[in-house]
Chain A
Amino acid sequence: MTVAPARPVAVRDGVGDSARRPDAVAKVRGEFAFSSDLGHDRMVWGATVRSPHAHARVLGVDASAALALPGVHLVLTAGDVPGVNRYGLERRDQPVLAEDLVRYIGEAVAVVAADDPELARRAAALVRVDYAELPALTDPELALSGGGPVLHEDGNLVRHLRIRRGAMPAAADIVVVTGEYEVGMQDQAFLGPESCLAVPDADDGVDLYCSTQWLHVDQDQLADCLGLPAEKVRLTLSGVGGAFGGREDLSVQAHACLLALRLGRPVKMSYGREESFVGHVHRHPARMRYEHGATRDGRLLYVKADILLDGGAYASTSAAVTGNAGCFAAGPYEVPAVEIDCRSVYTNNPPAGAMRGFGAVQVCFGHESQMDRLAAALGMDPVELRLRNAVDTGSVMATGQRVEGPAPVAELLRRVAGKPLPPPPGTDPRLLPGGMSNSTRAEGLLRGVGYGLSVKNICKSAGYDDFGTARVRVLARGGDVLAEVHTAAAEVGQGLVTVQAQIARTELGVERVTILPADTAVGDAGTSSASRQTWISGGAVRAACAAVRARLLERAAEVLGEGAEALRLESGQAVSELSGRAVPLVELLVTEIEETAVFRHRDTQPLDPETGQGDAHVAYAFAAHRAVVDVDPELGSVRVVEIACAQDVGKAINPAAVEGQMHGGIAQGLGLALMEEVKVRDGRILNPSFTDYLIPTTMDMPPTVLDILELPRADSPYGLTGVGEPPLLSAPAAVAAAIRDAVGAALDRIPVTPEAVAAAAVGR
């Protein structure tokens, strides 16, 4: 054994460093293999037969014409589902393949396997399904009022969250503003469409390689649908091309497994863009009625909110989204009295579910629009009004929960408000509204500035047992120490693998860290959503590393003849703080060390069903946005000039990745503010492609000014808090506010279309 004086060197690319993503270069070069690039020698292709009706009875399926095509192997329908023909994240209400009823346009009715994708699609088109159309329920207000058909056994109400706190004040000398707001249906618009490869084994089991946000919840549902024990349905994460909530629900997974198991051959499925629009859930469209009451000096007295979310045909995560929308309906403000009713309903529209921000985005547009309206009614600066009411540590939220941990809401707002304003518009038409369209020389151009403040929960809420698992192995290889980290946590593009490696490096003082592919051979990691994965799976990796470290130090203590308490790991050695002596880890690793750890955040409670009160959330995250826009009032075109965002992240584990989340969140928020809407008429998506579902281009995305606060939490690894969702939350509200400021008129619906801006500007 070599015992030497310590060489203190900090590990490179540890916690707090902007370590580079391992997949960065491959992705930029287009060489990264996404799930749509998967292949297998013997594979055939699956395609889906979908309902053209929003609501219809299925009378029969005739697959003979499809099966008559050479190269078509199999057509499966509901009767071929060996297990329970239901899946769903909150309630299993959605059939893998429709039985006697279809409830939305695009619902899967049958699946086809054929030699090539083109043939599979042609065969799918030849499957004849006889339908008897039923009246479709596509108006959520009608669904709520009990009119129209009943779509599910328990009625059309998915959830009603009722929050009551404090007594409504008597009507003396109160300034009251009311408003009705609407948020359109946003698509996650991830670039990698749904795809997977299912490979059957000799033992009636199946290996599924897929894009998902949560391997174990897929496994759980798939095992039930396939009628197999969980260990026979093994999942491995493949290259995920973005998620944003749209991969929480099953899409291709069950269909590919069904076909593969029946055929005994590998089956690949991959949606095109158009199919993808009906292949995953979208952000809930929302209608919101608000009433705010305040004192003349701008102290909020009460908030009343009535929120209706269109959940579409199946529940997906509607109940949880309803919970969030209700909990955050009043925003990050101290409000003595609240009366919030948040409801979600079933309709025959495309199902809505998780999307980045998860209910908090919609209500943020509502409460922030109200704060601006209130400021106007009070003749007060909108920033000042917000500062006066912002929550802080110790404040009580609408649900009665006291805010623990940092809550620098006022500080975040002060920071964005204090940034210098961008210079006035220049003459380059590309930088004016319309951009490349050459539609203005700044005729009548109006500039506006708007603000948004937001709050959202981080991690899972309301009593959910939320945990992550990590296995860490340390071994000597080729004279070097290598750490392997194994979790089932989904890297969806957010940079989780980078962060896991950084944590292992810091905790073990080891440079070489390998992140093994995520699969179900290791314990559950929970979902890559709710901005929770760095906290939870990061916490699990840290805990597993701590267990490994303890064993390494025990071995070192023996070698050095010193107590383990005085030893620490550093740059590949165990070092004694007492004697300064060190022993290389390689020499301690004659046998490798492996530890598995489970990490849980603290418990939460469900909300009281009558009052909506309760400590339902682990943590709150906050963000502030300031948007500056130029508006062409005649045409209604908008150019966002700059967006400033300040966010408290507790600890930036990877500052470059935090900035990436902020850029992306701002872009996605800008998209919702100005152009991103899945337009649905009579249950049909009118714009299921990137021709007409517009997402911001580089000519739409303005320069950003980012301000990252790091106020550590006491209850999380390294003091971090989740960063993925907050930078989106109040971006739409800020952009809309800036446009209103420019044109001096109300705009109560996002996306704000040029047409609406032009109309508002005329009416001003």
Chain B
Amino acid sequence: MTGFHTAADLRHACELKAAHPDATLIAGGTDVMVGLNFGHTSPAALLDVSRVPELREWSREDDTIVLGAGVPYTRIVDELGGALPGLARAARTIGSAQIRNRATVGGNLGTASPAGDALPPLLAARASIELASLRGTRRVPARDFFLGPGRSVLADDEIVAAVRIPVAAGAEQFAKLGPRNAMVIAVASVAVTLDPPRRRVGCAVGSAAPTPVVAGDAETFAGAELDWDGRRELPASVTARFAELAAAATAPIDDVRGTAGYRRHAVAVLARRTLTWAWQEYRRS
């Protein structure tokens, strides 16, 4: 490694990134440092964005939360549980208290792991990612952000500045599965959002394909089948079909954490449960 650059503000960060396109950004460092310590990555240089004020804040613009890429999960849990219940739920499942104090959504997006727990809620909620560079700012739908494991549309000179997430219009849920009761990488995860005004359901799945994926057929099916006005109880046939469609959206693999078959099964179970919980919440609201 030849350098360590510290960005003072977003503009400076973009300048540094443009000047050192091969530098690795470091925010909370909870992925970067693991990679360094294990010798899995040997970046040419590090570009520290953890002190960039623009990245450390969130704001509300009408019905959108503009979440700075560097806001740690602890603050998402503490400050955004009301506006973004799905993301906050996911944030609660991430790592340990120490990790949540440092780790950020920007880092989760940067790592672009299919197991990133903050990602399915962003997909389900149809968030968009704001990418900044000296060339300007562009917005990419979260659903189009990922290209493969560890790969995204982020260019060499770009920085994730913020994530724009619609304020929850209804109930939102997130559940994951792992072989331990805390501090565990998801074997599968599911995020579900209900948007009653638009009669729309969001559903995304983690850890069951090369990237986090949207379960589009499940969304369309549930959007049409749910009794938005009557708020009647969910028929078992609907949850079962929803679960089936969510599982069908995945392309899991066998690895040291679980087999493909079990992952698919888990996605179905979690999809059924999260939809049921969200619907119950909607019926009570």
In the complex the two chains form, is A435's CB within 8 Å of B182's CB?
yes
Is A634 an interface residue when CB atoms closer than 8 A count as contact?
yes
Is A754 an interface residue when CB atoms closer than 8 A count as contact?
yes
Is A639 an interface residue when CB atoms closer than 8 A count as contact?
yes
Contact mask for chain B residues 135-148; partner A; CB cutoff 8 A; 1 contact, 0 none: 00000000000000
Is B59 an interface residue when CB atoms closer than 8 A count as contact?
no
Question: Which of B37, B181, B262 interacts with A437 by CB under 8 Å?
Answer: B181
A694 to B179, CA, bound (A): 8
Is A663 an interface residue when CB atoms closer than 8 A count as contact?
no
Given contacts A438-B93, A691-B185, A755-B262, are A674 and B179 in contact (CB under 8 A)? yes
Given contacts A438-B89, A438-B92, A441-B277, are A699 and B39 in contact (CB under 8 A)? no
Q: How far is the CB of A65 from chain B (nearest CB, A)?
A: 18
A98 to B177, CA, bound (A): 43
Q: How far is the CB of A140 from chain B (nearest CB, A)?
A: 21
Interface residues of A in 686-740 (CB under 8 A from B): 686-687, 689, 691-692, 694, 696-700
A274 to B180, CA, bound (A): 21
In the complex the two chains form, is B38's CB within 8 Å of A438's CB?
no
Given contacts A675-B180, A697-B182, A755-B262, are A436 and B256 in contact (CB under 8 A)? no
Given contacts A692-B257, A699-B182, A700-B180, are A440 and B273 in contact (CB under 8 A)? yes
Question: Which of B96, B176, B257, B259 interacts with A438 by CB under 8 Å?
Answer: B176
In the complex the two chains form, is B37's CB within 8 Å of A272's CB?
yes
In the complex the two chains form, is A437's CB within 8 Å of B257's CB?
no
A689 to B34, CA, bound (A): 11
Residue of A nearest to B89 (CB): A438
In the complex the two chains form, is B39's CB within 8 Å of A694's CB?
no
A698 to B183, CA, bound (A): 10
Question: Which of A272, A637, A686, A698 interacts with B177 by CB under 8 Å?
Answer: A637
Q: How far is the CB of A438 from chain B (nearest CB, A)?
A: 5
Is B266 an interface residue when CB atoms closer than 8 A count as contact?
yes
Given contacts A697-B181, A697-B182, are A692 and B176 in contact (CB under 8 A)? no
Is A389 an interface residue when CB atoms closer than 8 A count as contact?
no
Is B223 an interface residue when CB atoms closer than 8 A count as contact?
no
In the complex the two chains form, is B181's CB within 8 Å of A639's CB?
yes
In the complex the two chains form, is A635's CB within 8 Å of B179's CB?
no
Chain B residues with Cβ below 8 Å from A440 are 273
A272 to B36, CA, bound (A): 12
In the complex the two chains form, is A438's CB within 8 Å of B175's CB?
yes
Is B163 an interface residue when CB atoms closer than 8 A count as contact?
no
Chain A residues with Cβ below 8 Å from B181 are 433-437, 637, 639, 697, 699-700
Given contacts A443-B273, A634-B269, A691-B185, are A274 and B177 in contact (CB under 8 A)? no
Chain A residues with Cβ below 8 Å from B270 are 439, 635
In the complex the two chains form, is B277's CB within 8 Å of A437's CB?
no
Q: How far is the CB of A73 from chain B (nearest CB, A)?
A: 21
In the complex the two chains form, is B38's CB within 8 Å of A689's CB?
yes
In the complex the two chains form, is A437's CB within 8 Å of B184's CB?
yes
Is B5 an interface residue when CB atoms closer than 8 A count as contact?
no
A272 to B38, CA, bound (A): 8
What is the number of contacts between chain A and chain B, taking CB atoms within 8 Å? 89
In the complex the two chains form, is B177's CB within 8 Å of A434's CB?
yes
In the complex the two chains form, is B174's CB within 8 Å of A679's CB?
no
Chain A residues with Cβ below 8 Å from B180 are 435, 675, 694, 696-697, 699-700
Chain A residues with Cβ below 8 Å from B256 are 679, 686-687, 692
In the complex the two chains form, is B269's CB within 8 Å of A635's CB?
yes
Chain B residues with Cβ below 8 Å from A443 are 273
Residue of A nearest to B94 (CB): A436
Is A89 an interface residue when CB atoms closer than 8 A count as contact?
no
Q: How far is the CB of A28 from chain B (nearest CB, A)?
A: 16
Interface residues of B in 247-263 (CB under 8 A from A): 256-259, 262
Residue of B nearest to A752 (CB): B179
Is B265 an interface residue when CB atoms closer than 8 A count as contact?
yes
Chain A residues with Cβ below 8 Å from B39 are 121
In the complex the two chains form, is B184's CB within 8 Å of A441's CB?
no
A225 to B108, CA, bound (A): 50
Contact mask for chain B residues 78-93; partner A; CB cutoff 8 A; 1 contact, 0 none: 0000000000010011
Chain B residues with Cβ below 8 Å from A675 are 179-180
Is A604 an interface residue when CB atoms closer than 8 A count as contact?
no
Residue of A nearest to B183 (CB): A697
Chain B residues with Cβ below 8 Å from A754 are 177, 179, 187, 262
Chain B residues with Cβ below 8 Å from A698 are 182
Is B150 an interface residue when CB atoms closer than 8 A count as contact?
no
Is A475 an interface residue when CB atoms closer than 8 A count as contact?
no
| Residue among A434, A439, A753 with max Cβ neighbours from chain B (10 Å) | A439
Is B3 an interface residue when CB atoms closer than 8 A count as contact?
no
Chain B residues with Cβ below 8 Å from A634 are 269
Q: How far is the CB of B171 from chain A (nearest CB, A)?
A: 13
In the complex the two chains form, is A437's CB within 8 Å of B178's CB?
yes
Given contacts A634-B269, A689-B38, A755-B259, are A439 and B176 in contact (CB under 8 A)? yes
A679 to B255, CA, bound (A): 11
Chain B residues with Cβ below 8 Å from A753 are 179
In the complex the two chains form, is A437's CB within 8 Å of B176's CB?
yes
Q: How far is the CB of A179 from chain B (nearest CB, A)?
A: 24
Chain A residues with Cβ below 8 Å from B37 are 272
Chain B residues with Cβ below 8 Å from A635 are 177, 266, 269-270
Chain B residues with Cβ below 8 Å from A679 are 256
Is A476 an interface residue when CB atoms closer than 8 A count as contact?
no
A754 to B186, CA, bound (A): 13
In the complex the two chains form, is B179's CB within 8 Å of A436's CB?
no
A696 to B180, CA, bound (A): 7
A436 to B93, CA, bound (A): 5
A438 to B181, CA, bound (A): 9
Given contacts A436-B92, A635-B266, A689-B38, are A694 and B184 in contact (CB under 8 A)? yes
Q: How far is the CB of B179 from chain A (nearest CB, A)?
A: 5
Residue of B nearest to A756 (CB): B262
Q: How far is the CB of A331 from chain B (nearest CB, A)?
A: 29
Chain A residues with Cβ below 8 Å from B174 are 438
Chain A residues with Cβ below 8 Å from B175 are 434, 437-439
Residue of B nearest to A759 (CB): B262
A440 to B265, CA, bound (A): 15
Q: How far is the CB of B264 from chain A (nearest CB, A)?
A: 12
A443 to B38, CA, bound (A): 40
In the complex the two chains form, is A437's CB within 8 Å of B177's CB?
yes
Q: How far is the CB of B193 from chain A (nearest CB, A)?
A: 15
A691 to B37, CA, bound (A): 13
Chain B residues with Cβ below 8 Å from A755 are 258-259, 262
Residue of B nearest to A693 (CB): B256
| Residue among B92, B180, B183, B262 with max Cβ neighbours from chain A (10 Å) | B180
A152 to B182, CA, bound (A): 44
Chain A residues with Cβ below 8 Å from B34 are 691
Residue of B nearest to A636 (CB): B262
Interface residues of A in 639-662 (CB under 8 A from B): 639
Residue of B nearest to A686 (CB): B256
In the complex the two chains form, is B38's CB within 8 Å of A274's CB?
yes
A635 to B180, CA, bound (A): 12
A-B contact pairs, 27 of them (CB 8 A): A272-B38, A433-B181, A435-B181, A436-B181, A436-B183, A437-B176, A437-B177, A437-B178, A437-B181, A438-B89, A438-B93, A438-B174, A438-B176, A439-B176, A439-B177, A443-B273, A635-B266, A637-B177, A637-B179, A675-B179, A679-B256, A691-B185, A692-B185, A698-B182, A699-B180, A700-B180, A753-B179
Question: What 18 additional pairs, Cβ within 8 angstroms, besides A437-B178, A441-B273, A754-B187?
Answer: A272-B37, A434-B181, A436-B181, A438-B174, A439-B175, A439-B177, A441-B277, A637-B179, A674-B179, A675-B180, A679-B256, A687-B256, A691-B185, A694-B184, A696-B180, A697-B182, A699-B180, A699-B182
B residues near A, CB below 8 A? Answer: 34, 37-39, 89, 92-93, 96, 174-187, 256-259, 262, 265-266, 269-270, 273, 277
Which are the 7 A-B pairs with shortest beta-carbon distances?
A435-B181, A699-B182, A699-B181, A436-B182, A755-B262, A437-B176, A697-B182
A residues near B, CB below 8 A? Answer: 121, 272, 274, 433-441, 443, 634-635, 637, 639, 674-675, 679, 686-687, 689, 691-692, 694, 696-700, 753-755, 758
